[in-house]
Structure 1
Amino acid sequence: MAYKLNNPEYYNNRELSWLRFNYRVIEEAADSNNPLLEQLKFLAITSSNLDEFIMVRVAGLKDQVKMNYHEPDTKTQLTPKEQLKGIGELNRANSEVQYDYYHQLMQELEAYNIYLRRPNQLSESMQAEIETLFDEQIYPSLTPLGIDAYRPFPKLMNKKINIFVNLSNELGDRTAIVQLPTVIKRFYEIKEGKDTYFILTEDIIEEHVEKLFKGFRIDRTFPFRITRNADLTIHEEGAADLLIEIERFLKERTKGAAVRLEIDISKNSMINGSFLRTELDLHEEDVYKFDGPLDLTFLFELSSRLKTDLPNLVYKPFTPQEPKFLGSENVYNKAMKEDIFFHHPFETFTPVVEFMQEAAEDPDVLAIKQTLYRVSSDSPIIDALKTAAENGKQVTVLLELKARFDEENNVQWAKELEDAGCHVIYGMHYLKTHSKITLVVKRVKGRLVRFVHLGTGNYNDSTAEQYTDMGIITTDPQIGSDAINFFNYLSGYSLKPEYNALHVAPFEIRDLFGESIDDEIEIHKKYGNGYIFAKMNSLTDKKIINKLLQASQEGVKIDLIIRGICCMKPGIEGVSDNIRVISIVGRFLEHSRIYYFNHNGEEKMYLSSADMMTRNMIKRVEILFPIYDRRIIEELKSINRLYLMDNIKARSQKPDGSYEYVRNSHPPVSAQEELMRRSESCGREQQVQKENELLLKVRNRFKRKK
């Protein structure tokens, strides 16, 4: 069969697909099913997401243009210049909607006597209070930066808000900049009666900026913000110590070239920022003007501040339950009998932490080996590893120093772990180690047993409450042997091992996907029941996309749950009409990766730390692991079906690459809400079971006494 594969119309551009995902996050701010303070947080998430996108993806494209690299991307055949043009158009449209929702939501907040105001909009008594606050808490930390022949344009910090000042006296016009120091708050709060007023720090500074420039008349002020290139190269080759090289890199990154200039034009729509644009070597298309405050990530802090006073405006509290496949049993005792499955945040991350803590203290544990990519700021996992080393156990930690935007934290953790006696390795040349694996070697009844935890998400107790992730703990001998070989390969010198059960990137995971899709095609030709299900963050790899298109054209049914980037257009007649792409954006960040191939009933189910992205499968050390336990396979199939039934938070991608909410006549289903309900129901059942077991023990004790 001659497959239809090469038409650029069959593909979505990676960057534009990401911006469509960020628009879906903006849509959550407009969804009245979300409590008001949660809607505001979605606006903050959008801004945070966009900052990273600009610093890395847009910066990379701009570098290509500067280097006269004009090769089109392999899927949509857009050159770097064309991609930047498309990004600018779509991002401006997104931002306009984002700020429309911002103003709407802030107005809705006023119904609860909460107001965001400028100082000159307050009563005289409150204005006096704000002036005192400025004089005592803000003014001492400010440094006015004049710009002239003796005072060159300053190297302004990345993502920090600045006040641009035009001023003059009898000697002429002057220009200056005042940067908001990191040490002061973004907003201040004052009360008057039942009303609570929040005033942004930049507005307070603008109101009293003349105190910084005595003898001058203030002609004009406006806030602005610079985003810098963070996509700099870590020079791994020849680095005597990667830890030192990363520290050098972190210093260099603060000096990256400006990529974006944001200007608040809410007080003066005529501002164009031409002076700043020239000084920063930016073009007009790099300037974004907003009718409102810059950097809406302050809404995280605002929502957090208000949730105590307005508990009805946040999500109802949810307590993760004990894992269904563990119950009240000890992790190690249960794993000796059967595999344990975890589904966070619906089930608590605590057993994974306890798995590490018990290993650290257990005299029968000989060794602990673990990969770490991102951990929380006060990590109990790190504490357990340090305790284990101090207790004389052999502890090996692969701590990925190149985890983007977590480099500084990981450098600090590396030093602490080394000081505690852990053997710390930093990863591999030109590859990021993104795998999530822990090996505990323990003596059980005179023999050594290898307990292995494998997961789709980081060993981070904080994000485990916000991201949907999955994992298992197993004593399967083949997986245990693979875990030993995996860590020995990373820590020593040897050829890449042959694995029994695990599939390890680079290359092996993509090879497995390709072979599995080919097998599904052949089985479908014979039996007519071909089916593939995959859930991931992003789909970008062209080889895998082409395999999926071939499968669709042969009649294989394919369901894809893809939260973010999807570089393939589904539903094109004769090309991808057997493929459905669903994106779910909700209360929790969808982060688990699930891959399923029907194989005429000989089902193959896998979980992984890897997406179907080229960077994951070729440029990272990732693990894809099989699920053998029939109970867990059935549980995963049930979860998969639930996601496909979602008609509240799910959006379906159309053949043109745009998305629309899934709306049908079926009873309303939100997959995340239903998973919370199931978890709580299971938790209640487990509690009743515990109480019955306790009652039975008491009765037996009473009988013995009689």
Structure 2
Amino acid sequence: MKTVALNAESPKAAVFLDRELSQLMFNRRVLAQAEDKRIPLLERLRYLCIVSNNLDEFFEVRVASLLAQGALNNDPALDATLERISGECHALVMQQYAILNTEVLPQLRARGVHLVRHNDRNEAQRAWVKAYFESAVRPLLTPIGLDPAHPFPQVINKSLNFIVSLSGKDAFGRGTAIAIVKAPRVLPRVIRLPNELSKGGGTSFCLLSSVIHAHIEDMFTGRDVIAYSQFRVTRDSDLWVDEDEVKNLRQALKGELQGRQFGTSVRLEVAKNCPPELSQFLLDQFSLAPNRLYAVDGPVNLVRLAELIDEVQQPPLRFEPFIAGMPAKTANLGIFEQMHKHDILLHHPFQSFQTVIDFICVAASDPQVVAIKQTIYRTGMNSGLMEALITAARSGKEVTVIVELMARFDEEANINWADKLEQAGAQVVYGIVGLKTHAKLALVIRREVDGLHYYAHLGTGNYHLTTTRLYTDFGLLTSNQAIGSDVNEVFIHLTSLTKPHKLNHLWLAPFALQNEIIKAIRNEARIARSGRPGRIIVKINALVDESVIRALYAASSDGVKIDLIVRGACTLKPGVPGLSENIRVRSVIGRFLEHSRIYYFRNELAHDVYLASADWMTRNLFRRVEVAFPVLDKVLKKRVIAEGLNPYLKDNSNSWELSADGQYHRHKARGKQTEFSAQRHLMELLGSTNGIS
């Protein structure tokens, strides 16, 4: 067998897939859910909205970053990458709107859910829309006719706007030909029509954009509207602060948040029938090249159609309701007594996050608890867990909260919580400037008969009540004093900025995590070279770090069998003879967002299992504070393997396999095979009455 030469100088294209195109391939897999006829119609619409939301962030962050690099460096390779991204994005968007217009909306109409456009409205509906426009919309509109005294207005990131071409003279006898109309952000984008106006007893809606379209001429008395189009601009939304100059990160970020809405333009969306001269006018205003234009066959912001999903009351059009299970409890024992008896493993969303909330709430009110320490990356605007921390601080407990202010798109919520926590008397620290604190840790210190005891929660996901119902994650509640001591050392490190002591069990980034991962991979390679089985199974959200990938390639060449379950971007090329023939990569896209990170190493039947907050990305390993923690209890270790890994390797319903050319191929049950869905299996195993401790 020919072995592919692999060293630091190997051409990247020969051994790595393109990261951005790999991320777009993930969105193609999500889009396939919108095409899947097994999925209820409103959920198919939701997947279309998810793709739009993902693409927004892709442009706001990844494309914006590449364009900024291109502006600084004349790099033909970067230009070629941007061209490939543009081609793939245009194809993806075209397919997205085709699914919406030819499948989802017609099938919803057949089920009595109507998104009524202006030309399809009957006389009564048009009269109602006109009245709504006059009473609720027109008073909030401020058309701007462009002239030297009325320059092109500031357009907020991802806002809905209209460009209008006018004929004739304005009220002052001048030929102002272009006007801009901003849609009010306070109004809903999806408007429900009265029941008596719905067809056949169904439910009818219209879009705010359609309402404004229908009556845009009413805004320009005495002028003829020649043409018009809705438009939306996407801007660079990454926040940046000068680490050398900033004195107070929270105050600096408050200022930066104001400017996020007006970052550099990176994409322009217009209606499909927008005249070329208007499109070009907008491209010129936003300094965008022609390939940054997306002419779409429908509303320019599909994300807002999620409002329709929330309004429709037809259970058959949604996933069946799912009630998360609760872990089995030891009779008459509180949370601390339970943790004394055994560690508690939680598998969300199949098991409720309520146990974690109870842990913090009980700690907040327990007079024996003297201190609570917690990291917060994302938690949402409303959080009972954060309120419990505030209560604990007000009651005189030592409360320390590491709030990550740079959690992308959650900065404002985190700043608000930081303010409230400080007002309550909590010690609030904003992590490490330049390193996002992404670790998911909570520590309770309790005074007991024989001294102070640690009780810890370590997780793979955020302390966010909404995402805990939508994302798959693992959490561990433990009273293991060695692990608790490690967690406390991490908090001391984050607050004092001192070098952390040697940890007993935790792998901590940016100091040791990458090194420990590679060491574990190389250990499996050493075992395989000696003629014994080497085995690695990893479940993560993304795999793009070159040092880890090279270690995996080397282990594959030594005979280690490697399965990688990677939800999103993966730049490793699997199945290449002499390079990665022992590596398989699959992605699972289902009802819930796969979010847990699991590292499994067979290690001579020791079966080492680590759960982690970190994906195998360079940013996670070197530019974030991350923690990987072992599952030490043998019973719980078997549970992680049986629930978090094996079902996903068996899935032939929602899984996709990656080939060396970067394409994904969907697994399907063949012949006499029974269709198997990992998520469905876990819902049945752990949901409602099937609690497992």
> TM-score range, shorter-chain basis?
over 0.9
Question: Which position in structure 2 is the counterpart of 1:177?
Answer: 180
The alignment partner of 2:690 has SS state of: helix
Secondary structure at the counterpart of residue 153 of structure 1: coil
Hey, what does 1:19 align to over in structure 2? 24
The answer as to whether partners of 1:570 and 1:655 remain within 8 angstroms in 2 is yes
Q: Which residue identity lines up with residue 205 of structure 2 in the other structure?
A: F
Aligned to 2:222: 215
The equivalent residue for 1:119 is: 118
What does residue 593 of structure 1 align with?
Answer: 597
Specify the code of the residue in structure 2 equivalent to 1:15.
Answer: E
**Are the equivalent residues in 2 in contact too, given 1:3–1:550 (CA < 8 A)?**
no
The answer to whether the 8 A contact 1:560-1:580 is kept is yes
Partner of 1:674: 681
CA distance in structure 2 between the partners assigned to 1:637 and 1:545 by the alignment: 23
Separation of aligned partners in 2, 1:684 and 1:16: 41
**Distance verdict in 2 for CA 1:461–1:111, change over 3 Å:** same
Partner of 2:88: 90
Change (3 A) 1:616 1:64: same
Q: Is the 8 A contact 1:326 1:340 kept in 2?
A: no
The answer for the alignment partner of 2:51 in structure 1 is 46
Aligned counterparts, 1:396-435, within 5 A: 396-435=400-439
Give the letter for the 1:175 counterpart. Answer: I
| 1:187 counterpart residue number | 190
Q: CA deviation at 1:99?
A: 0.8
Whether the 8 Å contact between 1:324 and 1:682 is mirrored in structure 2 is no
* CA deviation after TM superposition for structure 1 residue 237, in Å: 2.1
What are the within-5 Å matches in structure 2 for residues 445-456 of structure 1?
445-456=449-460
Whether the aligned pair in 2 keeps the contact of 1:549 and 1:575 (CA below 8 Å) is yes
Aligned to 2:35: 30
For residues 141-161 of structure 1, give each alpha carbon's deviation from its aligned partner in whole angstroms, at most 9, with x where no partner exists.
111011111111111010011
Q: Which amino acid aligns with 1:257?
A: T
- Displacement after TM superposition at 1:685 (Å): 8.9
1:60 to 65, 69, 93: 65
Deviation of 1:684 after TM superposition, in Å, equals: 7.2
Unaligned residue ranges in structure 1 (runs of 5+): 71-77, 687-706
| Gap change, CA 1:225 and 1:681, over 3 Å in 2 | closer
Q: 1:43 to 1:536 in 2, by over 3 A?
A: same
Equivalent residues in 2 for 1:613-624, closer than 5 Å: 613-624=617-628
Residue 581 in structure 1 maps to residue 585 in structure 2: yes
Q: Counterparts of 1:394 and 1:79 in 2: how far apart (Å)?
A: 54
- Residue 273 of structure 1 is matched in structure 2 by 279
Query: 1:409 is matched by which residue type in structure 2?
Result: A
TM-score computed with the length of structure 2 as normaliser: 0.95
| Higher mean C-alpha deviation, range 267-276 or range 94-103 | 267-276
Q: Which is worse superposed, 524-533 or 362-371? A: 524-533
Q: Find the partner of 1:244 among 251, 256, 261.
A: 251
Aligned to 2:348: 344
Aligned partner of residue 599 in structure 1, secondary structure: coil
Q: Aligned partners of 1:319, 1:60: CA distance in 2, in Å?
A: 41
Structure 1 counterpart SS, 2:687: helix
- The verdict on how the C-alpha distance between 1:324 and 1:468 changes in structure 2, with shifts beyond 3 A counting, is farther
Match of 1:695 in 2: none
In 1: Cα distance, 2:470 partner to 2:504 partner: 33
How much has 1:269 moved relative to structure 2?
Answer: 7.0
Which deviates the most, 387-396 or 248-257? 248-257
Say whether the 8 Å CA contact 2:653–2:669 is kept in structure 1: no
- Paired residues of 2:3 and 2:577 also in contact (CA < 8 A): no
**8 Å CA contact retained: 2:668, 2:675:** no
CA-to-aligned-CA distance 1:346-381 (integer Å, 9 cap, x gap)? 000001000000000000000000000000221011
**1:259·1:286 contact (CA, 8 Å) conserved in 2?**
yes
1:4 pairs with 2:8: no
Q: Which runs of 5+ in 2 are unaligned?
A: none
Amino acid at match of 1:304: D
SS of corresponding position for 1:159 = coil
Structure 1 residue 4 displacement after superposition:
3.0
When normalised by structure 1's length, the TM-score is: 0.93
Q: 1:324 to 1:564 in 2, by over 3 A?
A: farther
Where in structure 2 are the equivalents of 1:177-576 lying within 5 Å?
A: 177-190=180-193, 191-193=197-199, 194-265=201-272, 267=273, 273-306=279-312, 308=313, 310-324=314-328, 329-576=333-580
The structure-2 alpha-carbon separation of the partners of 1:326 and 1:137, relative to structure 1 and needing over 3 Å to count, comes to farther
Distance 1:195 1:337, change over 3 A: closer
One-letter identity of the residue aligned with 2:593: L
Offset of 1:338 from its aligned partner? 1.5
Q: 2:380·2:410 contact (CA, 8 Å) conserved in 1?
A: no
Partner of 2:663: 658
Distance 1:684 1:560, change over 3 A: closer
The letter for the 2-side match of 1:46 is V
| Alpha-carbon distance between aligned partners in 2 of 1:327 and 1:207, rounded to the nearest angstrom | 64
- Spell out the pairing of 1:93-108 with structure 2 (5 A cutoff): 93-103=91-101, 104-108=103-107
Matched position secondary structure for 1:359? helix
Q: Give 1:445 shift.
A: 2.7
Distance 1:39 1:165, change over 3 A: same
Any conservation in 2 of the 1:437–1:452 contact (CA below 8 Å)?
yes
The change in CA–CA distance for 1:326 and 1:680 in structure 2 (over 3 A counts) is farther
Change (3 A) 1:23 1:582: same
Residue 118 of structure 1, CA deviation: 2.0
Change (3 A) 1:127 1:271: farther
Pair 353,17 (structure 1): closer, same or farther in 2 beyond 3 Å: same
In 2, Cα distance between equivalents of 1:387 and 1:32:
48
Alignment partners' CA distance in 2, 1:203 and 1:415:
41
Cα deviation, residue 271, structure 1: 6.4
Give the secondary structure class of the aligned counterpart of 1:452. strand
669-678 or 247-256, larger mean C-alpha shift: 247-256
The structural deviation recorded for 1:466 is 0.2
Residue 507 (structure 1) shift: 3.6
Contact 1:325 1:340 in 2 (8 A): no
- Does the 8 Å CA contact 2:328/2:692 hold for their aligned counterparts? no
Q: Structure 1 pair 383/358, CA: closer, same or farther in 2 (3 Å)? A: same
Q: CA RMSD in A?
A: 1.7
Q: Secondary structure at the match of 2:455?
A: strand
Quote the residue 1:149 is aligned against: 148
Deviates further, 23-32 or 61-70 = 61-70
- Over 3 Å counting, the alpha-carbon distance change for 1:272 and 1:652 in structure 2 is farther
Mapped contact 2:686–2:692 kept (Cα < 8 A): no
Q: For the Cα contact (< 8 Å) 2:377–2:438, is it kept in 1?
A: yes
Contact 2:323 2:688 survives alignment (8 Å): no
Contact 1:527–1:600, Cα closer than 8 Å, also in 2: no
* CA apart distance, 1:173: 5.0
Does the 8 Å CA contact 2:543/2:615 hold for their aligned counterparts? yes
**Taking structure 1 as reference, are residues 681 and 465 closer, same or farther at Cα in structure 2, changes over 3 Å only?**
closer
Instruction: Give the SS at the match of 1:559.
Output: strand
Residue type matched to 1:145 in 2? I
Shift of 1:494: 2.1
Q: Deviations over 1:230-254 (max 9, x none)?
A: 1242223232211100111111222
What is the CA–CA distance in structure 2 between the aligned matches of 1:66 and 1:685, rounded to whole Å? 55
Larger CA deviation: 654-663 vs 609-618: 654-663
Cα offset, 1:260, TM superposition: 0.4
- 1:517–1:326 Cα change, 3 Å: farther
For the 8 Å contact 2:343–2:478, the answer to whether it is kept is yes
